[in-house]
Amino acid sequence: MSGTNLVAIKRAVFERLAAAQQLADMGAEVAYAFNPRSQPRIYVYLGAGTFEQEYITLRGGGNRVPREEVAFISAYVEVWEPGSNMLDLDQQAVEMGTVLEEILAADANLDDLPGVVYGGVSGGDLVQEHTDSGAGVTLEYRLRFVSRLN
């Protein structure tokens, strides 16, 4: 395995979210990345990713050196409603975020995705916004996955 596991992890997380019946029942549109042309009222999408790698051996000689990678991916839950109560929107975003958390907790190594040791939610932010047309909440989750790469 070479390079990074970041894109494989992001794809695996997206596939699980897109298949989640609970999110569909809540009326959420799920996307691999933010699409400015599609702004549904309830939106779950993945954002930017970063990774860090650390060598786990000092072996050299031109071969790829085994390393541990920590990948971080942003996942967003957005809820927008004309003239809505902010507390209700917060609660709705948290309920949808709980689905994300449960999906990752149930499959922390993404069905044995090559190299992935474990992953899950490592933190997040709640952003509230009022506009002329209503209110919105964005709940950003920071996902963290650890992989062993060769």
Q: Where does residue 39 rank: exposed (0-12), middle (13-18), buried (19+ CB within 10 A)?
A: exposed
pLDDT of residue 63: 67
How far apart are alpha carbons 84 and 102 in whole angstroms?
27
pLDDT digits (tens, 9 = 90+) for 36-83: 888 789 999 999 999 999 987 766 666 667 889 999 999 999 999 887
Domains and CATH numbers, the chain: 6-149 (3.30.2000.10)
* 34 neighbors 45 (Cβ within 8 angstroms): yes
pTM > 0.85: yes
Helix (H, G, I), strand (E, B) or coil at 64: coil
Instruction: Return the bridge partners of 139, or none.
Output: 77, 126
